[in-house]
Amino acid sequence: MKKLLVGLFVIMMLLSGCGKEYWVLDKKRLNEEPAVRQYVNYLQDDKTERKGFKVIDIAEGKKMVVVSTGTNELELEAVDVEVLDDETIVTVREVEADSDETNPYILIGLERKNGGVRVINEEGEEYEIGF
């Protein structure tokens, strides 16, 4: 019985390390993170087309990556986050849409990050940082 419990514990520990490196924050929960809300409001109030991203510190020492399309003809989906030794790469999918938002965006929370953050689309095109 003791060996069974030890085996189950080891399996649980291995599986806990297999989780995603990110989550997508529902836009309805935007008010939970004031700094993120302020930046999103800036993106929506600013009438210029700003395609890019910004990394913002949020609760519990984590980071939120706000990625914007720069056009209301695209929306974004999170594809993957890869945490390497010297950088963190966020990959997004651009989906054609007729959005109601001035500058559609996605909120991607990072479980962890190493080095700088790069955001790319599925074609490998990089988004501009820190506007």
pLDDT score recorded for residue 10: 42
Condensed to tens digits (0 to 9), the pLDDT of residues 90-107 reads: 999 999 998 889 899 999
Query: pLDDT confidence of 47, banded at 50, 70, 90?
Result: low
**Residue scoring higher pLDDT (7 or 116):** 116
Q: What percent of the chain clears pLDDT 90, i.e. is strictly above it?
A: 68
C-alpha distance from residue 70 to each of 3, 32, 43, 87, 129 (Å) = 57, 24, 9, 25, 13
Q: What integer pLDDT is reported at residue 18 of this predicted model?
A: 53
Q: Give the pLDDT score at 60.
A: 85
Contact residues for 7 (Cβ-Cβ < 8 A; gap 6+): none
β-partners of residue 65 are: 55, 108
Residue 16 has pLDDT above 90, yes or no: no
pLDDT at 49: 78
**What is the pTM assigned to this prediction?**
0.83
- Secondary element (H or E) of residue 5: helix 2-16
Structure tokens at 67: 């990625």
- Say if residue 122's pLDDT is above 70: yes
